[in-house]
Structure formats: C-alpha cells, structure tokens
Structure 1
Amino acid sequence: MYGLVDATSFYASAEKVFDPSIRNRPVVVLTNNDGCICAACPIAKRLGIPKFTPYFQIKDLLHKHGVVIRSSNYELYADLSERMMTVISRFCDNQHIYSIDESFLYFNNFHKTITHWYDYGHQIRKAIWKETRLPVGVGFGTTATLAKAANHAAKKLSGFDGVAVIDTKSSASAVLQRMNTADVWGIGNRITKRLALQNIHTALDLAKQNPKDIRQQFSVVTERTVNELNGISCLSWGDVKEPKKEIFSTRSFGQRISTYSVLNTALASHAGIVAKKLRQQSSQVKKLMVFAASSPHDNDYYKQAVVYPFAIPTDNTSQLAQAVSLVLPQIYQSGVNFYRCGVGAIELTSNTFQQGDLFDIDNNNPALMECFDNINKRYGAGSINIASAGQTQKWNMKRHFLSPQFTTNWQHIPKISC
C-alpha cells in the first residue's frame, strides 16, 4: 500500500501556525519581490481570489475583504516542512519527500498492524496537527498514482473529510470518475487536450484505455499511468522523483544594482545556494552558467551569460564562488542597471562515480562542506557564509509583508506573557 500526505495551502497554512489571530481570516502569500499571489488559504479561495494574479491588480479587492497579506517566508516554510516530514516518517517503512509539502509513504511491514486505513489516515492527520498545527490531506492507494488520486479526493472532492482510501476497483472507480484527466498525476495540459479529442475526459475514461495503444499514441510514461490507475504498480521512488539534471538559483533584485562589487556579492550568494542543492542530492557540477541582465522593459536591454567549465566536478561553495569571480569581468558592464542575475549548474555528475585528474588538485574538501551545512542547519540559514557573499544584502528581494521567522531566528522567538 502507498500513501501520500500533502499539506493544505502549505505557505498560507504555515503563516497561521504561530499567529492564532489570523487562523480564521483569509490569508494570501506573495511570490518573490511581492509580485503575484502564490498561495491562498481555503478561506481566501472561497472569496474567489485567483492564484498567480499580480498583487497590484488585486490589491483593492484584498483590502476590501480584509485579507491578510504575507511575503514568502522561506525560512519558516523550510523548517515547518522538516518538522512535518519528521512526524510523517514515524508512520511508514519508507518515506519519499516529493516536495516541500508532499511526502509519499510506502507500507511494507507496517500494513500487517494496520486494520483500517481510514482510521490510520486520521491518526496521521491528528499527529501532524498536534505537533505542527499544519492541516494535511491523506490518501492511500495500491499504487503511487492511486495514492495521489486518493489525496486529491481527500482534499478537493465532496464526501471526504481529509482522508481517502483506494484499495478496491469499486473505490477506485468512485474517485476516478469524479476526476478530470488534468487532475491525474503525470498528465499535463498538452496530453489532456489530446485525450479530450478522443473523448477521454475523466480519470476513469483514461483507466479504461488499452495501455499499449496509449503508449503508441503518447509515451511509455503515460502507459505506466494507465497501468497504475488500474492497480498495477509501475513506479519506483527513482521514477517518482529523480535527481535534478540542472540546478538554478535566480532572482530579480528588490532594487536595481549597478556596481561591480554588489553584483559579485549577489552572484556569489546564488552560487552558495546552488552548491547547497548539489550537496543535498549528492551531485557535483561540471559546467556552471553565470548570467546577469537588465529589465527587458529597459530601452537598452542588456543580458550576458558565461559558462565556466570545472577541470574536476565540484560541490564546494568556495569553488563555485571563485568561478563567479573569474567570469564576472565578462558579464559586468558599466552603466547598466542590473535587474536580475543567477547561477546555474547545467552539467551534473553523481558523487558516486568520479574520475580524478592527474594534473589538477581536488579541492572539494567534503568534510569542510559537511561542517558548513551542519552549522547552518543548527543555527539557521546564513549563520555562516563565504565572505564574497557579504553580510548585508541590499539587493535582496522585496518582502514588505514578511512575518517573523519564528523557528530560525533567535530575535523572532515567540514571547508569552502570563
């Protein structure tokens, strides 16, 4: 049996955890630089507030309904996500964290002690709520795709109360006939449109198709989806989420920058983020792309990108920052007001298999990087950093509605007066 636990409107729900005064109010969270709405709690959704709408276009509507506005508090979200995943791990043999608010569960030996999956789902929900105050939906299915479908039903279909179980053909049909093909995990908009031309509109319609015919018309991935909808497990954890083949860190600035040193600081900071993500998935970079650009709305639009090849693949933060410094003279241009910059690892290799170089010294120093990550994990992101990334970052994104970082900043620890 598979399971999927998914937080409800995670960003918006996370904002309510340490602020009980807004738990019964509509809350929306904005994207980088307070640009668009990226998350809305269920109360806000009932007001008809659409996601990904620019904030300035809907500002008056939000004010009219008394909506609480928050900037993206990534530090808080990451910490609450880790806490939620830790609670979930106690309820299964094998856990696969799919995203910041989603986790797949696989039950091998646990299922022998579980007599009622519906009740077990509510045990998971109650434990997560008690320890993190995050609302979640729980879905169980005989395959990973059916678990995803059950989770969709638990959160979005009427007649369910946060938990759904698909363990028989009848329970599968009851859910799949109420789901559009676009709601099926792995079926994108392009495939949905092609399926509609063949009068395939629901998930149940898709499940009834001949897998071999689907493979010929679409792909082996879509064929697997059809099999999974029929209870035939085809996906392993590696199929669910493979290591990224490219890793980027990019962001527009809160204010334009035009000086060489500040641009170097911004790019070095992005290099640090990329290096951290490389280490998290046990990868190293062979080629690093560094770029910076002005706004496309400027009269004289400027963009420059340079690819730096490493003699020996690396995940060392200082090595990536050094590469940034080496290519920056080719990117920077005096008089340009830079609006955006970024760093991307565009050719990756696994840490498992490495080919050394006879003439170049390997300066990766994995022990140092492990210490570096452990300090930031224990004392909060940014507690230790490379010097070139700077201590004060005036170029940071706008976050005018930022809530306190209750769990990662000593200055923001909640205070209780009694």
Structure 2
Amino acid sequence: MSARVMSVLETYSPTQELYSIDEAFLDFTDLYPGRQDPFAYAQQIKRSVQRQVGIPVCVGLGPTKTLAKLANFAAKKWPKTGGVVNLSDPDRREKLMKIVPVDEVWGIGRQLAQQLNGLGIQTVWDLAKQSPQKMQQRFSVVMARTIMELNGISCLDLETVAPAKQQIVCSRTFGRRLTTYGELHAAMAEFTGRACEKLRQQQSVASQVSVFIRTNGFAPHEPQYQRQASRCLVFPASDTRVILATVESLLSSVYHAGFGYYKCGVQLGDISPALAPNQLDLFDDRAGAGKVDGRVMQTVDAINRRYPKGIAVAAAWIDQNWKPRAHCLSPRYTTSWRELPIVHCR
C-alpha cells in the first residue's frame, strides 16, 4: 500500500524523498510558480491518493522541510483545515507557531524539549526567535539548522536516494514462550537470514554481529533472564552462512536453560559498502571463494524475490510454531487475490 501511495505522489513531482513507509517529501519549486496555486495543487494530490489508493492523507506545504512537517502536523490535528495547510505566508506561520508546543518540531524529542522548556522556550515561535549561533553553541549545529528552517531558510536538501542503513536489526516477539535451544536457534536463524538479505540489498557488508535473548519483563511472576553478546568479524561479510555461524556461537554463549524466552533478535553493525577496500590477510586465500559465495547469495536472493521465502539458508526444518500469532490481521483484499471479498447476487 505504501508503494501505491508513493507511485501516485511521484506523478506530481520529479523530485521525491521517501522519508518513511507513510511519509514523503515532494519538491514543487519548478512546478507551480506562476502557473498553479500550490494550495490547489496539494488538494489535488490529496484527492488523487484517496481516489486511486483509498487512503486519506494530509499535505503540508512550506519553504523548508521543517516547515512542511509542521504544516503537515497542523493538517492532521485540525480537521477544519481539510487536510491541507500552507505555511508559505509568514503571518500564518507565526500564528501557528505561537500555539504549537516546541516538542512538535521535527527533530525535537522529549528530552530536548524538556531542556528547551527549562530555558523558557515553550512554543515553536519561542524557538524560531532564538539566535542560531547561540543555540548551536549550547546544543548542536542541528539545532541551529532547525531554527533557520523555521525561519524559512532551507538547510536540508531532499534525499532522492535513500542512505544506506548503518545498523540492521531483525527481532520478533514470540507467539509463545520458547524453552529449548533448538527453538531459539530456529528463530535466530530466520532473523539472521532476513538481516543478511537486507544487508545485501543495499550492497553492504557488516563487521559486527550482536544477538540478544530475553524473557517477558512485563510478567514479573515468571523467572527473568536477559543477555546480549557481540563479536567482530575477522572480515566484513554479507554471506548468511558466515554470519549465521557467528550468531550460533553467540547464542550458545548466552543461552541458559530453564527460562521461557519471549523475544530474541540479531543486530548487524559497523556496516560499510561492499566495494570499499578492506584490510586483507596475506596468508588467507579467500579471493576465489569470496566470488563463489557472492554468486551463491545472489542466486538465493533472486529466487526469494521471485518466490517469496522460497529458500531458507538454515534451520528451515525445525518446527516454527514459535512465530507470533496473527488473530486480528486486517483483511488484505487490496493486496491478496485469495482475500478478495466475494459478492453473491440473487
């Protein structure tokens, strides 16, 4: 559904940044000046997404990304706006900023908002009137850029190409308590495969592998146990088999029998581009093997793209009834042929 929304949005602007699964930035700079009212153009986008995808959206307009986010917040909060707010006008911008708390600014979290409140900065308008230079000295350059963006000075360009992830985590909460090493191993193997596939999709390799296991902290009547372990790889890798061997070793070191485990996960860190030069071992003959391993993983990924979950590198034979129960899934009639509603006409 996210891809469908984004495909509609990209027809309205050649420059698009996919910010999250349900949010995107569009650049209208070269589209509407002198030719079309931006507010009417935004309303047209809203109607198109509703008509073509069936999902309601809100649109915020502004001369900077931070102001556009603030406008989008106002469009969602106050229904009278009709789902579209334009903060290009300085007077309207000031009026809104004076009634919106500072923690609604993009990039201002709870702790940072508390620090600003301690300085007497309660609203977005209070923050916008601060000196960028003084706030940079007290906080960071990010704060200075935020203040400049609130004043209509663009400091953040659209990222048309998503940056590579610096950390990949794959974890799940189980549908029941896991009590044996084999069950945890099966879950950890599947998470490792997913994490490595994401790593290869962005053409990266990881140098650090971490695992964690834990019981349910919200069930104090149950015995509690949680552990985490990490290890640096000798050579950066994206091969599922290589990373899985490390995960298995780490899991063995942290597993302790006698507990009902509620959640586990795999984390890949110290990520770098796969083509970046790395320090090699003079006595390690891995050049040819690396090429073969790369082709094997590419083949596995290609098969799984064509037949989702067609191949699991390891532990697929173990019973997987540990997976989360999905009793309340929404019907997927827009994405699954098998779940299309059936209409009987008499």
Change (3 A) 1:217 1:396: same
Counterpart in 1 of 2:144?
Answer: 223
Q: Which one of 290, 315, 321 corresponds to residue 362 of structure 1?
A: 290
Q: CA offsets, 1:232-259, max 9 Å, x none?
A: 1111346998544322122221111122
Q: Unmatched 5+ residue regions in structure 2?
A: none
**What is the Cα deviation at residue 268 of structure 1?**
1.0
Q: Which one of 324, 328, 334 corresponds to residue 397 of structure 1?
A: 324
**What is the Cα deviation at residue 391 of structure 1?**
7.7
Matches within 5 A, 1:5-404: 80-111=1-32, 114-157=35-78, 159-237=80-158, 243-296=164-217, 297=220, 300-355=223-278, 357-358=280-281, 359=284, 360=286, 361-362=289-290, 365=293, 369=297, 372-373=300-301, 375-377=303-305, 379-380=307-308, 382-390=309-317, 393-404=320-331
Q: Is the 8 A contact 1:114 1:120 kept in 2?
A: no
Aligned length: 338
Q: Is the 8 A contact 1:248 1:343 kept in 2?
A: yes
| Percentage of matched positions with identical amino acids | 34
Change (3 A) 1:237 1:197: same
Counterpart in 2 of 1:16?
Answer: none
Distance in 1 separating the partners of 2:37 and 2:15: 19
Q: Is the 8 A contact 1:252 1:397 kept in 2?
A: yes
Distance in 1 separating the partners of 2:28 and 2:84: 17
| AA matched with 1:412 | E
Q: Is the 8 A contact 2:183 2:318 kept in 1?
A: no
Q: CA offsets, 1:41-91, max 9 Å, x none?
A: xxxxxxxxxxxxxxxxxxxxxxxxxxxxxxxxxxxxxxx112111211111
**What is the Cα deviation at residue 281 of structure 1?**
4.0
| AA matched with 1:312 | F
Give me the CA root mean square deviation: 2.9
Q: Is the 8 A contact 1:266 1:389 kept in 2?
A: no
Q: CA offsets, 1:307-354, max 9 Å, x none?
A: 233333223334333332343332333333322211011221123524
| AA matched with 1:394 | N
Distance in 2 separating the partners of 1:369 and 1:114: 51
Change (3 A) 1:369 1:103: farther
Normalising by the residue count of structure 2, what TM-score does the alignment of the two structures yield?
Answer: 0.86
Q: Is the 8 A contact 2:171 2:264 kept in 1?
A: yes
**What is the Cα deviation at residue 135 of structure 1?**
0.5
Change (3 A) 1:383 1:126: farther
Change (3 A) 1:285 1:180: same
Distance in 2 separating the partners of 1:386 and 1:222: 45
Q: Find the structure with the greater CA-based Rg.
A: 2
| AA matched with 2:21 | I
Q: CA offsets, 1:148-191, max 9 Å, x none?
A: 11111111135411111122322322322232111111111222
Q: Unmatched 5+ residue regions in structure 1?
A: 1-79
Counterpart in 2 of 1:37?
Answer: none
Normalising by the residue count of structure 1, what TM-score does the alignment of the two structures yield?
Answer: 0.72
Distance in 1 separating the partners of 2:206 and 2:306: 26
Change (3 A) 1:342 1:136: same
